[in-house]
Amino acid sequence: MRTTVGIIGAGPAGLLLARLLHNAGIDSVVLESHDRAYVERRQRAGILEQGTVDVLRAAGAGERMDRDGLRHDGIELRFDRRRHRVDFPALTGGRSVMVYAQTEVCKDLIALQLKDGGPLLFEAEALAVEDAQSERPRVRFRHAGSEDVLECDYVVGCDGFWGVARKAVPAALSRVYERTYPFGWLGILADVPPSHDELVYARHDRGFALLSMRSTSVSRLYLQVPDGTDAEEWADDRIWAELERRFETADGWRLRRGPITQKSVTPMRSFVHEPMRHGRLFLAGDAAHIVPPTGAKGLNLAVGDVVTFARALTHHKQTGSAELLDIYSETCLRRVWQAERFSYDMTTLLHRAPDATPFEDRLQLARLERIATSRAVETDLAEAYTGFPLH
């Protein structure tokens, strides 16, 4: 097989890249190791930044999002039994976020790709990226029981942290920056309408809690738990009781309970691989960086990466200049490190470390009080949450 851009991974990043390239008249082939049903039900992120929403609309993938998604104009911070709302449009010149699950983004992009895009091969396992520094890099892959080779002008690895793309960057050239956290998130899906119309981030002496949602009838909630926790150790009643404790307010707000349909534990880590380019191999999304989910940045960072690549390749096609391709890694990493900074700040602001001292507890409350009383500090949070510029 032969194409201009070989894309490894049919998550939202790989699928969006294929769509952007199609719209620019550039051919591609997408290789995805799992089947379509797996990709369309894989629960991940659910918060889209303003820039991500704008890109999906411009790419022709916004119709169902605009119909079924939930626009949110703020978040609520809870601490010391108090509530403080951060008003995004008022602080950012009109920006907001959209609650629309990654599974739905993938469904929309898959439908578009199969309708009028290039080849999208499910159950096509990428085995290796070869000759990344040559003008004809290749992806060896296994599909329908046999091995094949995809010859490309460029390869983009959107295949996640455990994929093969990053392994093609020589260890001598790689720099890795990472941090692991001594806690994770116990997440649940529940068939109950959300108890609040916007996301609630709660700092409590017993640990962090997050009230989120997937729709007007399905709630998504999280509890900070020790690293290594088994979700099955937590009975449903225990989960609801703990959520009620951590969301408690002085004004008598109540949490709605409902049947829990899914529970899992997500580990917390920060990770960045530099560089994000090696020859004609470009890394995007989790293949290059991971953020703790506190700042809702993972999917949005991946979108920023593929938008940067698509713009650079389109510029090369139109002008013959490889200037933007040459600075792909530096361009993406500026945005990546700001997102890492924000996600780290949100994580340390709201989670209680296992060995936290009373001094550190008071510092957290002081930081939250500062957000609630300083428009400048609150604006910094709102600007970061709604998204860093996609350029």
Is 222 in the active site? no
Q: Decide: helix, strand or coil at residue 38.
A: helix
DSSP state of 2: B
Give dist(CA 81, CA 251) in Å, integer: 8
Catalytic residue among 222, 289, 293, 351: 293
Strand 277-278 relative to strand 281-283, pairing: antiparallel
Give dist(CA 256, CA 72) in Å, integer: 20
Is 344 in the active site? no
Catalytic residue among 289, 297, 328, 351: 297
Give dist(CA 108, CA 124) in Å, integer: 21
Give dist(CA 90, CA 273) in Å, integer: 36
The answer to whether 290 and 161 have CB atoms below 8 angstroms apart is yes
Give dist(CA 69, CA 86) in Å, integer: 20
Look at the block and give the residue holding tokens 């690549």: 309
Catalytic residue among 201, 204, 222, 289: 201
Is 293 in the active site? yes
Catalytic residue among 72, 204, 273, 289: 72
The answer to whether 225 and 263 have CB atoms below 8 angstroms apart is no
* 345 φ/ψ angles, rounded to the nearest 5 degrees: -60, -45
Is 297 in the active site? yes
Full 3-state SS string of 223-290: EEEECCCCHHHCCHHHHHHHHHHHHCCCCCCCCCCCCEEEEEEEEEEEEEEECCEECCEEECHHHCEE
What are the catalytic residues? 72, 201, 293, 297, 385
